[in-house]
Structure 1
Amino acid sequence: MKGRPMAKISKFRSEAAREEFLRLYAGFEDRWPIPSTTFEVPGAYGRTFVRRSGSGTRTPVVLLHSYGANGLYWHRRIEEFTRDRVVYTPDTLGTAGRSVQTAPISGEADLTAWVRELLTALDHDRVHLIGYSHGAWHAILAALAQPEHLASVTLVEPGGVFNKPLWRTLFTMMRFGLGGRSDENMRKLNEWFTPGVTFSDEEWAIAKAAIMGFQMRIGWARVLKDAELQSISTPTLGIFGGESLASRDPEGAARRLAKQIPNSEVEVYPGIGHAILDQIPEQVVPRILDFLDQHEPAELHRAT
């Protein structure tokens, strides 16, 4: 009788791919616009690389990035988020970045345990947890399992969590995948999935190095059941692009979130796609900051 296949560890496809990615990463760090410090959080699944920026007495924020990105993704938004608080931007374990996975992350329980290890190591009573795209999946898992660590949760474009993507979206992505990994093909895929967003050459190079040079093996989101959503007690904000291809029906996903999560708010931005934080940051970021202000805990926090 055959057993279940052994879960594998996410890794770079070669030493050359790792070196090239880290070279690009080091160059991209110069774009970070404010002083910061970095440290590693050791845990059962590996070492998580974390950047700490900002100062202030308000409840800290933890920002979880999307697929193909890393903690440096937030360089354009970090000044706004750190106006009166500390902000942590980790490289998610099991994705291309400076974090190093050493044990398999084979399912939701492992992902939840990783987030718990991270938040515990930061040593704050509570944090505001904000996840974008794939990061939103990790954030809602934390809301399900560890509300004691959370002052609020913000889910930006949580594809696959409240409803499934359209089959034609998956089919089109597969078709692009079969077209090869040339710059031209990947740029066409990006233009189709995130219209209205133009990346610099440096941003494109590091994204390409992450997607092409790294094997991510930490899984994808699934549609949560009503009972799971109803059990979430943490104040939750959902942000959706009305034309996003990450969801079968963004407005339907927003309605389901609002109906099933007791203490929740939603915003749907018509005509905007999946790259909402890059298309209309002047609308989205203030909305998130206002939500954080509404759910600022009164208790004091331990110093770090």
Structure 2
Amino acid sequence: MAKVGEFRNDEARENYLRAYDAMEALWPLPATQVDIQTSFGPTHVRRSGSGPGTPIVLLHQFGGNGLVWHNVVEELAGDRVVYAPDTIGTAGRSIQTAPLNGEADFGAWFEEMLNGLGLERVHLAGYSHGSWHAALAALHASGRVASLTLIEPGGVFTRPKLGVLLKMIWFGMRGKSDENMRETMAWLSPGAVVGDLESACGKVALDGYRMRIGWARMLKDAELRSITVPTLVIFGGDTLVADTGLATRRIAANVPHGTTEIYPGTAHGILYQIPDRISRRILTFVQQHDRSEVR
């Protein structure tokens, strides 16, 4: 039976919320915050920006929360509203109260969140594990998605190499010491620099929260063909989480309106290595498809 994500205890929750409060100092824009009631629990959403463009919803990576988009939100919100939720079932200010029993439930959560925000259609972007969640929304709530951007989507288009999986397991078995986390980051995302406030919040999340919403799986060709919205997939040229050559071929062969872009000299931490280039690329893409009627 599927379970509900939760903090290990009250102390873990309090430690996390203190780190979360400190991390809020990184957000560069005025923001409003709201808790949207869904069948799976209240979802905390941060809203910034204004303008006529179709809104953007940003889904964060494993161990993160909506605040991780602080280094790209300013440009994205220049001509539209940007929404950054704390994904249900992850450490954050959202509180999961019911399990997601299947992948379609993630689409249901996404639609309920949009309904609560009063949004009909949005551009949707996800980073790392958030790319998996964004792909599920595109599969199961496609009518609400104007375009899809997946940044470093591990496991979605290709299976990770066995050696990579084994090393991830090895790092996991070594625990969550500062030294181990630094070594993991240096291996998975060389060249990426994550600030102290964000690092501290991520460490407390990994230490104190039991996430039970599952992991990415490789989508079948038929599932890829059903993603008919304009889709941009971004990889770091030195990524370890995907075979970029195979992923590019699968996207070209199966995603009707898919584009792949690879940035040499970057890896899984691409959002931290070249945030300005990533924000500009996302913004250019969504502006091209603000009025897209592709289905």
Normalising by the smaller structure, the TM-score range is over 0.9
Q: 1:137 aligns with which of 132, 138, 155?
A: 132
Q: Are the counterparts in 2 of residues 152 and 295 from structure 1 also a CA contact under 8 Å?
A: yes
Question: What's the CA shift for 1:30?
Answer: 2.1
Q: How far apart are the structure 2 equivalents of 1:200 and 1:240?
A: 22
- The residue that corresponds to 1:296 in the other structure is 290
How many percent of aligned residue pairs carry the same amino acid?
54
Q: Does 1:166 align with 2:161?
A: yes
* Cross-structure match for 1:85: 80
- CA distance in 1 between partners of 2:149 and 2:223 (Å): 17
Q: Is 1:232 aligned to 2:230, yes or no?
A: no
Match of 1:68 in 2: 63
Counting matched residue pairs gives 293
For residue 152 of structure 1, report the CA deviation from its aligned partner: 0.5
2:249 to 238, 249, 255: 255
Runs of 4+ in 1 over 4 A off after TM superposition: none
Structure 2: stretches of 5+ with no match in the other structure: none
In the alignment, residue 244 of structure 2 is paired with which amino acid? P
Q: Distance in 1 between matches of 2:62 and 2:240?
A: 15
Alignment match, 2:274: 280
SS in 2 for 1:62: strand
1:47 to 2:62 alignment: no
- Please show how residues 213-224 of structure 1 align to structure 2 within 5 Å: 213-224=208-219
Q: Tell me the secondary structure at the aligned position of residue 153 of structure 1.
A: strand
Q: Which amino acid aligns with 1:87?
A: V
Q: 1:192, 1:106 → 2: CA distance?
A: 33
Is 1:21 the counterpart of 2:16 in the alignment?
Answer: yes
Secondary structure of 1:217's counterpart equals coil
Q: Secondary structure at the match of 1:100?
A: coil
CA distance, structure 1, for counterparts of residue 196 and residue 278 of structure 2: 25
What residue identity is the alignment partner of 1:288? I
The equivalent residue for 1:202 is 197
Structure 1 portions without partners, runs of 5+: 1-5, 300-304
What is the alpha-carbon distance in structure 1 between the residues aligned to residue 63 and residue 218 of structure 2?
A: 21
1:264 correspondence with 2:271? no
Kindly indicate whether the alpha-carbon contact (under 8 Å) linking 1:12 and 1:213 is maintained by their aligned counterparts in 2: yes
Call closer, same or farther: CA 1:158–1:298 in 2, change over 3 Å: closer
Partner of residue 37, structure 1 = 32
Residues in 2 aligned to 1:26 and 1:112: alpha-carbon distance in whole angstroms: 29
Looking at structure 1, the residues matched to 79 and 9 of structure 2 have their Cα atoms a distance apart, in angstroms, of 42
State whether structure 2 residue 92 is matched by structure 1 residue 106.
no
Deviation for aligned residue 1:141: 1.1
- Residue 186 (structure 2) pairs with residue 191 (structure 1): yes
Residues 44-92 of structure 1 show CA distances to partners (whole Å, capped at 9, x for unaligned) of 1100000110111110000000111000001111101100100000000
Counterparts of 2:27 and 2:281, CA distance in 1 = 23
| Alignment TM-score, normalising by the size of structure 1 | 0.93
What is the SS of the residue equivalent to 2:26? coil
Distance in 1, Cα, partners of 2:184 & 2:11: 25
Alpha-carbon RMSD across the aligned residues, in angstroms, is 1.3
Q: Determine the C-alpha separation between the residues in 1 that align with 2:141 and 2:61.
A: 21
CA distance in 2 between partners of 1:40 and 1:178 (Å):
35
> What is the distance in 2 between the residues matched to 1:32 and 1:104?
30
| Distance (whole Å) between structure 2 residues aligned to residue 181 and residue 296 of structure 1 | 42
SS of 2:37 mapped into structure 1: strand
SS at match of 1:296: coil
